[in-house]
Amino acid sequence: MQSTPNPDLLSFFSEALTKLAYQGFQQSKSVFSLAHKTISDRLTDTVIPSRQNLTTPLSPELLLELQKRRNKLCEIDWQDAQKGVYPVDILFDTFLPDFLRYYPEMWLDLPKIWTRLQQKQYQTFAEDIEKEGYPRYYLQNFHYQTDGYLSDSSANLYDLQVDILFNGVADSMRRRILAPLKEGLKTFSSLPPDQIKVLDVACGTGRTLKGICATLSKGSLFGVDLSPAYLRKANQLLSENPKKLPQLTQANAEDLPYPDNFFHGLTCVFLFHELPEFARQEVINECFRVTKPGGTFIICDSMQLSDSPEFEVMMNNFSAMFHEPYYQDYIRDNIGKKLEKTGFELIETQLHFVSKYWIARKPM
Ligand SMILES: C[S@@+](CC[C@H](N)C(=O)[O-])C[C@H]1O[C@@H](n2cnc3c(N)ncnc32)[C@H](O)[C@@H]1O
C-alpha cells in the first residue's frame, strides 16, 4: 500500500527550504556588496590618499552589532512575508537585468566621482540638463553621483548604488513601512479597497511603490518626485506589473499637487536626510494637508544620534565620504516634534538595521 505524503510535513519542508533560499540570497548580496565596497574604497584611497583621514574605522564591536541588526532585519522581513503582509515572492525581487546592464557603468563612473571629490565640486551637471525650477538645495551631486538626480544614467545606477551601500538590504528596509501602512489603512476598512488612495512621496525609481503594489492588491497608488529621470525609471519598473500602474507626477514635495484630505496613506522613504531643515518641516506640513483625517503617514530614513549614539562614527563617516550636505543636521533633528507641531499624532518610532521609522496619524 502506498502512503500519501503528510501535507503538513510537505509545507514545513517547503517553508524551511524557501527560508534557506532567502537567507542564501541575502547572504550572497551581502558578500557581493562588501567585496564591491572594499575594492572601490581601496581604489579611491589610492587615487586620493587624503580621503583616508576623513573617516574613522569601525570597531569590531560595532561591525558585529551591524551584522546582528542586519540579520534581525532579514528575519523580520521573512516573518512579515510569512504573516501575509506581502507575498513571499517579493523577498526574491532582484534587478538582475539592470545589474548586468549597468554594473560596469558604476566602475566607469568612478573617475568622475574622484574628480568631484578632489575638486570639491558638489553642483556639476551635464550642459544639456535643465536646472530651472528646482529648489536650490536639490541641485547637488548627492553621494557625488554624476548629474545628481537629474539624468537617466543617474537613475539607472541609483538602485545598484543604494543596495550596495546598504549591504543588499535596501528593499528589506523599504518594506518595513508596509506592515504599519497596512495596519493604518484598517481605519478605512468600511470603504471598498479600490477607493483607498496611497501616495509615496519622493518615490524615486519606484521600488517602495513596487512593494506597496504587492501589498495592497487593490487601491489607487500615486508617486511624486522632483526628478523626471527617476520618474521615467519608476514608470519602467512599475509598468512591468500588468494589473496596476501608479500615477506618477513630477512635483516638489513641499507643494503637493493634490487636494486637502485626499490620501488614506502616505509614505516617504530616504528623503528627509537630503532636505535642509526648513524643507523637512514644509514637506511634513504638505503631507498633513493631503492626508485624510484618520490617515497614516510613515517616514523611513537614516537612524539618528538620539536613538543610536553608538553609531555616531558611522554616521560621521557617511557624511564625510558621500556628499550629503544636510545629513549632520538631519541626524540631530527632532522629526517627531515636527510631525506633532503640524498636527500629526506620533504613534511609534521603530529602528531597523541603519534606518528609523516614524509612524504618524492625522487625528479624526
Ligand atoms: C535618496 S532618494 C530616495 C528615493 C526613493 N524613495 C527610494 O526609496 O529609493 C531621494 C529622492 O527624493 C527626491 N527629492 C528630493 N527632494 C525632493 C523634493 N523636494 N520633492 C520631491 N522629491 C524630492 C529625489 O529626486 C530622489 O528621487
- Give the residue, 118 or 295, on which the prediction is more confident: 295
Q: Is 270 in the pocket of ligand 1 (CB under 6 A)?
A: yes
Q: Are residues 174 and 279 in the same domain?
A: yes
**Is the domain of 37 the same as that of 106?**
no
User: Are residues 265 and 182 part of one domain?
Assistant: yes
CA separation (Å) from 35 to 32, 41, 121, 171? Answer: 5, 10, 28, 20
Q: Taking the CB of residue 106, how many other CB atoms lie within 10 A of it?
A: 17
Residue 1 pLDDT > 60, yes or no?
no
Whole-number Å distance between alpha carbons of 196 and 300: 21
Has residue 310 got a pLDDT over 80? yes
> How does 333-351 read in b/e, with b if 16+ C-beta sit within 10 Å?
bebbebbeebebebbebbb
Three cell numbers at 309?
549614539
Residues 352 and 209 in one domain: yes
Q: How many domains does the chain have?
A: 3
Q: With contact defined as beta carbons under 8 Å apart, do 137 and 326 qualify?
A: yes
Whether 1 maps to a domain, the answer reads no
Q: What are the C-alpha distances in Å from 171 to residues 37, 134, 322, 364?
A: 19, 28, 21, 32
Q: How far is the CA of 13 from the centre of ligand 1 (A)?
A: 41
Model confidence band, residue 145 (pLDDT cutoffs 50, 70, 90):
confident
When comparing pLDDT for 223 and 121, which is higher? Answer: 223
Please tell me if the CB atom of residue 70 comes closer than 6 angstroms to any atom of ligand 1. Answer: no
- 290, 256 in Cβ contact below 8 A? yes
Does residue 282 lie within any of the structural domains? yes
Query: Is the pLDDT score of 2 beyond 90?
Result: no
End residue of a domain, out of 47, 65, 92: 92
Are residues 160 and 179 both part of a single domain? no
> Which atom of ligand 1 is closest in space to residue 273's alpha carbon?
1
Identify whether residues 112 and 158 lie together within a single domain.
Answer: yes
Q: Which atom of ligand 1 is nearest to the CA of 137?
A: 16
Domain annotation covers residue 355: yes
230 lines ligand 1 (CB under 6 A): yes
Q: Is 208's C-beta closer than 6 angstroms to any atom of ligand 1?
A: yes
**Is position 111 within any domain?**
yes
Reduced to 3 DSSP states, what percent helix, strand and coil does the chain have, rounded to the nearest 5? Answer: 55, 15, 30
The residue type of 336 is: G
204 and 289 inside one domain: yes
Residue whose C-alpha cell is 527617476:
230
Rounded to the nearest integer, the mean pLDDT of the chain is 93
CA of 310 to the centre of ligand 1 (A): 28
Q: Is the pLDDT of residue 195 over 90?
A: yes
Q: For residue 46, how far is its CA from the centre of ligand 1 (angstroms)?
A: 32
- For residue 212, is pLDDT > 60? yes
What predicted TM-score, i.e. pTM, was given to this entire model? 0.95
Which amino acid is residue 338, in one-letter code? Answer: K
Residue 32 structural domain = 8-92
d(CA 290, CA 285): 9
Indicate the top mutation candidate among 162, 225, 267 to test ligand 1's pocket, ranked by most ligand atoms within 8 A of CB: 225
State the pLDDT at residue 126.
86
Q: What is the pLDDT of residue 159?
A: 95
All 3 cell numbers of residue 205? 525609481
Q: What is the pLDDT of residue 307?
A: 93
Average of pLDDT values for 15-20?
88
DSSP 158-203: HHHHHHHHTTT-HHHHHGGGHHHHHHHHGGGTTS-GGG-EEEEET-
Cα 203 to middle of ligand 1, angstroms:
6
* Residue 346 β-bridge partners: 360
**d(Cα 268, Cα 133) in Å, to the nearest integer?**
22
Among residues 165, 196, 216, which one ends one of the domains?
A: 165
User: Per the domain annotation, does 318 fall within a domain?
Assistant: no
Q: Output 320 or 216, whichever has higher pLDDT.
A: 216
Long-range contacts of 150-154 (CB under 8 A, 24+ apart): 150/125, 150/227, 150/229, 151/125, 151/126, 151/229, 152/229, 152/232, 152/233, 153/105, 154/229, 154/230
Give yes or no for residue 74 CB within 6 A of ligand 1: no
320 part of a folded domain: no
Q: Does 280 have pLDDT greater than 80?
A: yes
Q: Are residues 230 and 122 in the same domain?
A: no
Q: For ligand 1, is residue 273 a contact (CB within 6 Å)?
A: no
Q: Is 206 in the pocket of ligand 1 (CB under 6 A)?
A: no
What atom of ligand 1 comes closest to residue 253's alpha carbon? 20
Are 317 and 56 within 8 A, CB to CB? yes
User: Which of 164, 208, 258, 271 to probe ligand 1 with, by most ligand atoms within 8 A of CB?
Assistant: 271
Cell numbers given for 17: 527550504
Is the C-beta atom of 207 inside 6 A of ligand 1?
yes
User: What percent of the chain lies above the pLDDT cut of 70?
Assistant: 99
* Statement to judge: residues 181 and 273 lie in one domain: yes
Q: How far is the CA of 161 from the centre of ligand 1 (A)?
A: 15
Give the span between the Cα atoms of 284 and 58, in whole angstroms. Answer: 34
Q: How much is the pLDDT for 15? A: 84
In percent, the amount of the chain with pLDDT more than 90 equals 77
Q: Which of 133-142, 227-236, 335-344 has the lowest mean pLDDT?
A: 133-142
The CATH number of whichever domain residue 301 belongs to comes to 3.40.50.150
Q: Is residue 218 part of a domain?
A: yes
Claim to verify: residue 76 and residue 128 sit in the same structural domain: no
The answer to whether 314 and 293 have CB atoms below 8 angstroms apart is no
Give the residue carrying C-alpha cell 542586519: 70
Angle between helices 7-47 and 96-118 (to 10 degrees): 30
- More confident call, 272 vs 141: 272
* Claim to verify: residue 144 and residue 292 sit in the same structural domain: no
Examine the domain organization and report whether 221 and 351 are in the same domain: yes
Final residue before a domain boundary, out of 165, 184, 219: 165
Ligand 1 atom closest to residue 149's alpha carbon, by position in its atom list: 25
Indicate whether 121 belongs to any domain: yes
Give the least confident one: 47-56, 157-166, 173-182, 201-210: 47-56
Contacts of 269 (CB under 8 A, 6+ apart): 174, 177, 200, 202, 204, 208, 299, 300, 301
